[in-house]
Protein backbone atom coordinates (compact mmCIF):
# COMPACT_ATOMS: atom_id res chain seq x y z
CA UNK A 1 0.00 0.00 0.00
CA UNK A 2 3.01 2.22 0.07
CA UNK A 3 3.33 2.09 -3.71
CA UNK A 4 2.02 4.88 -5.90
CA UNK A 5 -1.43 4.22 -7.24
CA UNK A 6 -2.15 4.92 -10.89
CA UNK A 7 -5.39 6.75 -10.17
CA UNK A 8 -7.60 7.88 -7.36
CA UNK A 9 -10.90 6.08 -7.08
CA UNK A 10 -12.98 8.84 -5.62
CA UNK A 11 -16.63 9.16 -4.91
CA UNK A 12 -18.47 12.19 -3.54
CA UNK A 13 -22.26 11.97 -3.37
CA UNK A 14 -24.31 15.09 -3.74
CA UNK A 15 -27.77 15.85 -2.39
CA UNK A 16 -29.27 15.85 -5.86
CA UNK A 17 -27.20 13.00 -7.21
CA UNK A 18 -28.96 11.16 -9.95
CA UNK A 19 -29.51 7.46 -9.54
CA UNK A 20 -27.95 5.12 -12.03
CA UNK A 21 -29.93 2.13 -13.08
CA UNK A 22 -28.33 -1.09 -14.20
CA UNK A 23 -29.76 -4.45 -15.07
CA UNK A 24 -27.71 -6.30 -12.47
CA UNK A 25 -24.17 -7.21 -11.56
CA UNK A 26 -23.83 -9.45 -14.57
CA UNK A 27 -21.58 -10.08 -17.55
CA UNK A 28 -22.86 -6.95 -19.34
CA UNK A 29 -22.10 -4.80 -16.32
CA UNK A 30 -18.59 -6.21 -15.97
CA UNK A 31 -18.04 -5.81 -19.70
CA UNK A 32 -18.87 -2.10 -19.41
CA UNK A 33 -16.61 -1.81 -16.39
CA UNK A 34 -13.79 -3.51 -18.26
CA UNK A 35 -14.34 -1.23 -21.27
CA UNK A 36 -14.02 1.83 -19.02
CA UNK A 37 -17.60 3.06 -19.28
CA UNK A 38 -17.53 6.11 -17.01
CA UNK A 39 -21.11 5.76 -15.72
CA UNK A 40 -20.61 2.13 -14.79
CA UNK A 41 -17.28 2.86 -13.18
CA UNK A 42 -18.76 5.74 -11.15
CA UNK A 43 -21.58 3.48 -10.01
CA UNK A 44 -19.19 0.67 -9.10
CA UNK A 45 -16.87 2.94 -7.12
CA UNK A 46 -19.76 4.69 -5.36
CA UNK A 47 -21.58 1.47 -4.49
CA UNK A 48 -18.59 -0.39 -3.13
CA UNK A 49 -16.91 2.60 -1.48
CA UNK A 50 -19.85 2.82 0.90
CA UNK A 51 -19.76 -0.88 1.73
CA UNK A 52 -16.00 -0.96 2.11
CA UNK A 53 -16.01 2.02 4.45
CA UNK A 54 -18.69 0.47 6.65
CA UNK A 55 -16.72 -2.78 6.78
CA UNK A 56 -13.38 -1.10 7.43
CA UNK A 57 -14.59 1.25 10.17
CA UNK A 58 -14.95 -1.66 12.56
CA UNK A 59 -11.38 -2.75 11.87
CA UNK A 60 -9.23 0.32 11.30
CA UNK A 61 -8.50 3.28 13.50
CA UNK A 62 -8.12 6.14 11.06
CA UNK A 63 -9.82 7.55 7.99
CA UNK A 64 -6.43 7.62 6.33
CA UNK A 65 -5.98 3.87 6.75
CA UNK A 66 -9.54 3.23 5.58
CA UNK A 67 -9.04 5.27 2.43
CA UNK A 68 -5.71 3.58 1.82
CA UNK A 69 -7.26 0.11 1.98
CA UNK A 70 -10.21 1.20 -0.18
CA UNK A 71 -7.92 2.60 -2.85
CA UNK A 72 -5.73 -0.48 -2.86
CA UNK A 73 -8.79 -2.73 -3.07
CA UNK A 74 -10.05 -0.89 -6.15
CA UNK A 75 -6.58 -0.78 -7.70
CA UNK A 76 -6.20 -4.55 -7.34
CA UNK A 77 -9.74 -5.23 -8.51
CA UNK A 78 -9.21 -3.25 -11.72
CA UNK A 79 -5.79 -4.81 -12.22
CA UNK A 80 -7.37 -8.29 -12.15
CA UNK A 81 -10.27 -7.17 -14.33
CA UNK A 82 -7.94 -5.83 -17.01
CA UNK A 83 -5.42 -8.63 -16.74
CA UNK A 84 -8.05 -11.36 -17.09
CA UNK A 85 -10.36 -9.45 -19.43
CA UNK A 86 -13.31 -9.93 -17.10
CA UNK A 87 -14.42 -12.03 -14.14
CA UNK A 88 -15.20 -15.73 -14.11
CA UNK A 89 -18.33 -15.14 -12.07
CA UNK A 90 -19.62 -11.64 -12.86
CA UNK A 91 -22.62 -12.12 -10.60
CA UNK A 92 -20.25 -12.63 -7.65
CA UNK A 93 -18.39 -9.37 -8.20
CA UNK A 94 -19.35 -8.20 -4.69
CA UNK A 95 -17.90 -11.28 -3.05
CA UNK A 96 -14.75 -10.79 -5.11
CA UNK A 97 -14.39 -7.16 -3.99
CA UNK A 98 -14.86 -8.29 -0.39
CA UNK A 99 -12.24 -10.97 -0.77
CA UNK A 100 -9.73 -8.55 -2.34
CA UNK A 101 -10.38 -6.17 0.54
CA UNK A 102 -9.73 -8.95 3.08
CA UNK A 103 -6.35 -9.63 1.49
CA UNK A 104 -5.43 -5.94 1.44
CA UNK A 105 -6.52 -5.64 5.06
CA UNK A 106 -4.29 -8.52 6.12
CA UNK A 107 -1.33 -6.87 4.44
CA UNK A 108 -2.20 -3.59 6.10
CA UNK A 109 -2.18 -5.28 9.52
CA UNK A 110 1.22 -6.81 8.81
CA UNK A 111 2.67 -3.49 7.65
CA UNK A 112 1.13 -1.65 10.58
CA UNK A 113 2.53 -4.17 13.08
CA UNK A 114 5.96 -3.81 11.53
CA UNK A 115 5.90 0.00 11.52
CA UNK A 116 4.46 0.12 15.06
CA UNK A 117 7.46 -1.78 16.33
CA UNK A 118 9.70 0.81 14.66
CA UNK A 119 7.68 3.77 15.87
CA UNK A 120 9.39 4.95 19.03
CA UNK A 121 6.76 7.50 19.87
CA UNK A 122 3.94 5.02 19.37
CA UNK A 123 1.50 7.77 18.53
CA UNK A 124 -2.06 6.51 18.02
CA UNK A 125 -3.78 7.18 14.71
CA UNK A 126 -6.53 9.75 14.65
CA UNK A 127 -9.91 8.23 15.40
CA UNK A 128 -12.15 7.40 12.49
CA UNK A 129 -14.85 9.88 11.62
CA UNK A 130 -17.81 8.92 9.50
CA UNK A 131 -17.25 11.64 6.96
CA UNK A 132 -18.78 9.83 4.02
CA UNK A 133 -21.97 8.98 5.81
CA UNK A 134 -22.30 12.59 6.84
CA UNK A 135 -21.72 13.59 3.25
CA UNK A 136 -24.47 11.26 2.13
CA UNK A 137 -26.91 12.63 4.59
CA UNK A 138 -25.46 16.10 4.67
CA UNK A 139 -28.53 17.70 3.16
CA UNK A 140 -30.34 19.67 5.80
CA UNK A 141 -33.67 18.21 4.73
CA UNK A 142 -32.55 14.68 5.54
CA UNK A 143 -31.17 15.70 8.91
CA UNK A 144 -34.44 17.39 9.72
CA UNK A 145 -36.42 14.37 8.62
CA UNK A 146 -34.31 12.00 10.69
CA UNK A 147 -34.59 14.34 13.63
CA UNK A 148 -38.33 14.25 13.15
CA UNK A 149 -38.29 10.44 13.01
CA UNK A 150 -36.36 10.41 16.27
CA UNK A 151 -38.68 12.93 17.89
CA UNK A 152 -41.64 10.74 16.93
CA UNK A 153 -40.18 7.90 18.97
CA UNK A 154 -41.16 7.53 22.61
CA UNK A 155 -38.74 9.38 24.89
CA UNK A 156 -37.33 6.13 26.29
CA UNK A 157 -36.54 4.74 22.82
CA UNK A 158 -34.96 8.00 21.76
CA UNK A 159 -32.81 8.13 24.85
CA UNK A 160 -31.88 4.49 24.34
CA UNK A 161 -30.68 5.06 20.77
CA UNK A 162 -28.80 8.17 21.85
CA UNK A 163 -27.06 6.32 24.68
CA UNK A 164 -25.98 3.49 22.39
CA UNK A 165 -25.09 5.27 19.17
CA UNK A 166 -24.28 8.84 20.06
CA UNK A 167 -22.82 8.47 23.53
CA UNK A 168 -21.45 5.03 22.62
CA UNK A 169 -22.06 3.68 26.09
CA UNK A 170 -21.73 0.03 27.01
CA UNK A 171 -24.76 -1.79 25.53
CA UNK A 172 -25.39 -4.09 28.48
CA UNK A 173 -25.17 -1.24 30.93
CA UNK A 174 -27.61 0.83 28.86
CA UNK A 175 -30.04 -2.10 28.59
CA UNK A 176 -29.93 -2.60 32.36
CA UNK A 177 -30.50 1.09 32.98
CA UNK A 178 -33.51 1.21 30.66
CA UNK A 179 -34.87 -2.14 31.81
CA UNK A 180 -34.78 -3.75 28.35
CA UNK A 181 -32.88 -6.64 26.84
CA UNK A 182 -30.64 -6.78 23.79
CA UNK A 183 -33.52 -8.09 21.65
CA UNK A 184 -35.46 -4.92 22.36
CA UNK A 185 -32.51 -2.83 21.29
CA UNK A 186 -32.16 -4.79 18.06
CA UNK A 187 -35.87 -4.48 17.24
CA UNK A 188 -35.79 -0.77 18.02
CA UNK A 189 -32.86 -0.32 15.67
CA UNK A 190 -34.72 -2.36 13.06
CA UNK A 191 -37.78 -0.08 13.28
CA UNK A 192 -35.68 3.06 13.11
CA UNK A 193 -33.74 1.58 10.20
CA UNK A 194 -36.94 1.01 8.22
CA UNK A 195 -37.85 4.68 8.67
CA UNK A 196 -34.34 5.84 7.77
CA UNK A 197 -34.33 3.53 4.76
CA UNK A 198 -37.55 4.95 3.31
CA UNK A 199 -36.19 8.48 3.64
CA UNK A 200 -32.75 7.50 2.38
CA UNK A 201 -34.18 5.97 -0.79
CA UNK A 202 -36.38 9.01 -1.35
CA UNK A 203 -33.47 11.46 -1.00
CA UNK A 204 -30.38 9.60 -2.14
CA UNK A 205 -31.83 6.85 -4.25
CA UNK A 206 -31.19 3.16 -4.42
CA UNK A 207 -27.84 2.57 -6.02
CA UNK A 208 -28.25 -1.16 -6.18
CA UNK A 209 -27.52 -2.55 -9.63
CA UNK A 210 -31.16 -3.45 -10.13
CA UNK A 211 -32.46 -0.17 -8.74
CA UNK A 212 -35.28 -2.30 -7.38
CA UNK A 213 -36.07 0.05 -4.54
CA UNK A 214 -35.82 3.30 -6.43
Partner 1 sequence: MDHSEAVREMAAERYLLDELEPEAREAFEEHVFDCPECALDLRAARAGRECAGAAHHGQAKS
Binding site for partner 1 (CB under 8 A): 47-48, 50-51, 54-55, 58, 92, 94-95, 97-99, 130, 133-134, 136-138, 142-144, 146-147, 149-150, 161-162, 164-166, 171, 182, 185-187, 189-190, 192-193, 195-197, 199-201, 204, 206-210, 212-213
Task: Please identify, using beta-carbon distances, which residue of 78 and 209 lies nearer to partner 1.
Answer: 209
Are 81 and 30 in contact, with CB atoms under 8 Å apart?
yes
- Shortest reach from residue 3's CB to partner 1, in Å: 25
Give the total residue count for the chain. 214
Task: Please identify, using beta-carbon distances, which residue of 114 and 143 lies nearer to partner 1.
Answer: 143
Task: Please identify, using beta-carbon distances, which residue of 41 and 50 lies nearer to partner 1.
Answer: 50
Task: Please identify, using beta-carbon distances, which residue of 81 and 161 lies nearer to partner 1.
Answer: 161
C-alpha–C-alpha distance, residues 197 and 182, integer Å: 22
Task: Please identify, using beta-carbon distances, which residue of 2 and 155 lies nearer to partner 1.
Answer: 155
Are 199 and 142 in contact, with CB atoms under 8 Å apart?
yes
- Shortest reach from residue 114's CB to partner 1, in Å: 23
Nearest partner of 66 among 100, 102, 105, 93, judged by Cα? 105
Residue 135 contacts by C-beta under 8 Å, 6 or more apart in sequence?
12, 13
- Shortest reach from residue 118's CB to partner 1, in Å: 29
Q: What are phi and psi of 15, to 5 degrees?
A: -60, -35
- Shortest reach from residue 123's CB to partner 1, in Å: 26
Where would I find the beta strands (DSSP E) of the chain? none
C-alpha–C-alpha distance, residues 168 and 164, integer Å: 5
Amino acid sequence: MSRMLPMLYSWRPGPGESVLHFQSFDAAYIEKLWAGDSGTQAHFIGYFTQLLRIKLRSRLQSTHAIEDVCQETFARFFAVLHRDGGLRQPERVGAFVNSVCNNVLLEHYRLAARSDSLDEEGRPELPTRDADALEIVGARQIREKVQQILLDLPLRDRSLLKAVFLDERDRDEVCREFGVDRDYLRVLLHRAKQEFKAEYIRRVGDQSPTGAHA
